[in-house]
Amino acid sequence: MSNAAPDLADRPDAAADADAAPQSAATVEMPSQDEYVAMRLCDLKRGTTLQTPILDERGVLLLNAGMVITDTFHAKLVARGLVSVMVHAGEVAKLLAGTPQGEATEAPPTRPGVVAAASNPTSEALDQIAMSGRGLALPPQDNPFRDELADRTGAPLDPDRWEKTIAAIGDAVTEAAAIQREIADGRGVNLTGLTGLADAALDELAEDRDLFVCIALSPHGGNRLTRHGVHAARLGAAVGAVMGLDRSTLRELMIGILVHDAGMLRIDPAVYETPGPLGKAAFLEITKHPVLVFDALKSAREVPARSAFVAYQIHERCDGSGYPRRRTASQMHVLAKVAAVVDSFIALTASRSYRPALAPHHAIRHVLKEAGAGALDAEAVRGLLKAVSLFPLGSRVKLDDGRRGRVVRTTADYSRPLLELDPPGGAAGRGGPPGELLDLSQRREVQVMGVSADAAPLIEQNEPSESLAAAA
């Protein structure tokens, strides 16, 4: 692919004449679909510099690598009638960070619990502890990590910290992928590397919890399995901090979440990377992965005991509807209950080959419903609600006075977050000038009427799940 050709940013008049534009731009060889993906124009964040070219669907070069996405560039794409462009898959996480992509409003039906047809000495040892019900609670905590969090109440999100956090997640995904592959290949656990990933994330969390969570809630980009674990681990740290856990406990929670999907690397991707709903046989195969991770480990002693329980029980449910052993609440480790909540939420807000992603607000509502039905731990769900709000960080909302904006900070009232309103002619969080901040907890007369662009009213009063949220 040559980057020497002129592009729309180099030629001020290139997009003004729709007929002339394709002739003045160079056609480059279209990379494989594994390298480039379609991206909506609205997701091309102004002010972003990509390290790879932007193309149209025919392989026509639109913007050279290393050039800034500007308002002028956007306007020229619109003038050409484009609604999407092609960007390198490696740039997706950077462009979509903090921008929820889910639009679905209903979660798929919950499957019944399963006892997986797999076991090993480590899983059997963990099962014995679980069945005894002893050693599953947390000891008295040291200084709560939440005391280390910087107070950013009412402050705008810092652009420099935003970019650093995005880069840090990208690096974490790369490092965690290598660690998971070593585990899956039976080469042991790089516990030093996992501890370093967790501690670095906790330092970021301490700088700005809301910014940290906002980016964690967008698990979009390459290396799906590992990225899911990295984002879930980060969200788990934030939820655990809200719940008053100390640093060492949060570290072990994160390590367990990061380790658990190494078992998926021992399952043929064809089992789960197929279009359409997962069949029964495919699902039964997937239920083995919390056990398979311990096939790869020489012993559970390679990771902290609490981390081992998180990795093993992250897919269990308090009412026995999970896997791999259909444990109930009294047989689940406290940290596994937290991991189950954040893993479920991150999974719901990310698309799969067999289902679309849920809008974050509807994912929260589903999690509340699951807690109300007894499947998810109520205390952990309250922690999630406090960490992300009823309208999760990054979500776009519509107010009853017609204004729109995005959620940038939580407040003491989980249902009334701090918004950044759309600036004139722009959209908050998409580059351009910052918008006015509006604290809904201080403006009780203003109501949220919808999520996303033109969503219909969505809050029904006196829903059963609202009682749990109210207790937060």
pLDDT in tens, 169-190: 999 999 999 999 999 998 989 9
What distances in angstroms separate CA 354 from CA 108, 255, 278, one per listed residue? Answer: 10, 28, 7
E strand map for 178-307 = none
- Residue 22: the pLDDT is 36
- Position 111 in a domain: no
Give the lowest-confidence range in 10-19, 39-48, 119-128, 137-146.
10-19
C-alpha of 454 from chain center: 23
The residue ranking higher by pLDDT, 283 or 15, is 283
- Position 301 in a domain: yes
Give the lowest-confidence range in 273-277, 338-342, 383-387, 448-452.
273-277
Same domain as 206, residue 236: yes
**3-state SS string over 73-104?**
HHHHHHHCCCCEEEEEHHHHHHHHCCCCCCCE
Rounded to the nearest 5°, which phi and psi values hold at 277?
A: -60, 150
pLDDT at 28 over 70: no
Query: What is the tens place of the pLDDT at every residue in 112-124?
Result: 999 999 999 999 9
- Position 322 in a domain: yes
Average pLDDT of the chain is 86
The DSSP call for residue 12 is T
Residue range 283-297: mean pLDDT, rounded: 91
Pick the last residue of a domain from 359, 388, 417. Answer: 388
- Position 10 in a domain: no
pLDDT at 77 over 80: yes
Distance separating alpha carbons of residues 406 and 409, to the nearest angstrom: 9
Distance separating alpha carbons of residues 322 and 112, to the nearest angstrom: 7
Residue range 392-410: mean pLDDT, rounded: 94
Same domain as 413, residue 380: no
- Residue 168: the pLDDT is 96
Q: Which residues contact 353 (CB under 8 A, 6 or more apart)?
A: 272, 273, 274, 275
Expressed as residue numbers, the domain containing 433 is 396-471
DSSP string for 107-122: PPPPPPP-B-S---HH
- Residue 453: the pLDDT is 46
Which of these, 357, 293, 422, lies nearest to 100 by C-alpha position?
357
Residue range 260-277: mean pLDDT, rounded: 87
Distance separating alpha carbons of residues 164 and 390, to the nearest angstrom: 27
Same domain as 149, residue 89: no
Distance separating alpha carbons of residues 336 and 256, to the nearest angstrom: 9
- Position 13 in a domain: no
- Residue 297: the pLDDT is 79
Same domain as 68, residue 178: no
Give the lowest-confidence range in 52-66, 160-174, 193-207.
52-66
Which of these, 392, 406, 395, 400, lies nearest to 448 by C-alpha position?
400
Pick the last residue of a domain from 95, 110, 130. Answer: 95
Distance separating alpha carbons of residues 375 and 327, to the nearest angstrom: 11
- Residue 299: the pLDDT is 60
Same domain as 150, residue 43: no
Task: Calculate ∠ Cα 429-202-297, nearest 5°.
Answer: 115
Under a CB-based contact definition with an 8 Å cutoff, are residues 421 and 444 in contact? no
In this structure, the number of other CB atoms found within 10 A of the CB of residue 145 comes to: 25
Distance separating alpha carbons of residues 458 and 127, to the nearest angstrom: 43
Under a CB-based contact definition with an 8 Å cutoff, are residues 217 and 100 in contact? yes
- Residue 433: the pLDDT is 83
- Residue 32: the pLDDT is 53
- Residue 392: the pLDDT is 95
Q: How many domains does the chain have?
A: 3
- Position 115 in a domain: no
Task: Calculate ∠ Cα 252-376-264, nearest 5°.
Answer: 55
Same domain as 365, residue 384: yes
Same domain as 338, residue 240: yes
- Position 1 in a domain: no
Same domain as 254, residue 126: yes
pLDDT at 466 over 90: no
- Residue 34: the pLDDT is 58
Query: What is the tens place of the pLDDT at every residue in 344-377?
Result: 999 999 887 777 888 899 999 999 999 999 999 9
Pick the last residue of a domain from 388, 413, 442. Answer: 388
Same domain as 57, residue 199: no
CATH number at residue 140: 1.10.3210.10
- Residue 452: the pLDDT is 67
Same domain as 365, residue 297: yes
- Position 107 in a domain: no
Q: HSE-up of 160 (CA within 13 Å, CB side)?
A: 1
Same domain as 321, residue 176: yes
Give the lowest-confidence range in 25-29, 36-40, 295-299, 434-438.
25-29
Same domain as 324, residue 290: yes
Task: Kindly state the helix (H) or strand (E) to which residue 200 belongs, with its residue range.
Answer: helix 191-207
Give the lowest-confidence range in 130-144, 223-237, 290-304.
290-304
